[in-house]
Amino acid sequence: MSVFTLIENWNGEFKKTSFETLSYGKNIANQKNQKLVALTLGANNANLMTEYGADKIINITNTSFENCTNKLLSEICSKFIQENDVNTSIISNTNMGKSISPLLANETNHGLITNAISLPESQNPLIVQCKGFSGKAHVKYQSNYNLNIITIIPNSIGEIKKITGDGELLNIEFNIEDISQGIQILSREKTSEKISLSDANIVISAGRGLKGPENWTMIEELAELLGAGTACSKPVSDMGWRPHSEHVGQTGIAINPDLYIAIGISGAIQHLAGVNSSKHIVVINTDSEAPFFKAANYGIVGDAFEVVPKLINELKKYKG
């Protein structure tokens, strides 16, 4: 038996979530005294996965897979899960992972536990602590299946450790003649070169308190100085001030950065659902009664148009 991980990359380069998934999978493989099998598509440096615990790496090299649909990818994963006698599969809870995991569970007839934030406390039956109720609570899910898929929330597992590995690397071409995709992706483009919110250790987020999209320059400047990702509230995204890809909250992206700075956001429960697992929260708001202050570790009652420029100036002085 073995443990399986699906490892995402962008244009051949691995993400932070890739190594987090590998590290989580290796921990489970060690618990079960099994090998860790990693599958990726078109990685430039697939052998790097051995440094994070992969015992067997399957790197699919078909150029036609650059725009692979989730349905096709789930069928590919299913094939290798069956061939490698897998009993536990690990997938990152990214947008792709959320789409693939239920498809794969259906393909393989595996149990599915989503939004994991820690390693399983029991293997038989499988019990895992997860985020539930739109992030408002931690819950323990139990699967009574013998074969299972676990999706893990990015930035929630803790330290990612490198190890000395000598895993086997297989670069292969996959025969897709018998698989009907139905939908064909013609191209895939990155919206920007900014830090991915799933990978960001620091996130700067702003809301309607900024009064208009023209005022986002200072948010982006602050983010650049801190090496942070930028995010926004749902109303800001709905009004078209910022792209939907930056919307964090119950109906947007759930994130778990080390530091989340909320500027001009009142802190509605729908927004908090996507950020309340952040390790530290800093709130900047003119309204001292804003609900967000109750969830904050640190708060500044003040005008963003005065506070943020001062923060930028101090950071520039600090950096010389």
Instruction: Name the strand (E) or helix (H) holding 259.
Output: strand 259-263
Does residue 6 surpass a pLDDT of 90? yes
pLDDT above 70 as % of the chain: 91
Instruction: Give residue 180's pLDDT.
Output: 54
Locus of tokens 């323990």: 140
Measured at the CA of 245, the angle between CA 243 and CA 246, to 5 degrees, comes to: 75
Query: Rounded to 5 degrees, what are φ and ψ at 193?
Result: -95, 10
pLDDT band, very low/low/confident/very high, at 299 (cuts 50, 70, 90): very high
Q: Where are the domains of the chain?
A: 2-172, 197-319
Does residue 319 surpass a pLDDT of 90? no
pLDDT above 90 as % of the chain: 62
Span 69-92, mean pLDDT?
92
CATH of domain 197-319: 3.40.50.1220
Task: Take residue 264 and report the two structure tokens written for it.
Answer: 């001009």
Count Cα atoms within 13 angstroms, Cβ side, for 125.
Answer: 9
Span 276-291, mean pLDDT?
94
Domain 2-172 matches domain 197-319 at the CATH topology level: yes
Q: Which CATH superfamily is domain 2-172 in?
A: HUPs (3.40.50.620)
Instruction: Give residue 219's pLDDT.
Output: 96
Span 273-297, mean pLDDT?
93
In single-letter form, the type of residue at position 213 comes to P
Cα separation of 243 and 232, whole Å?
9
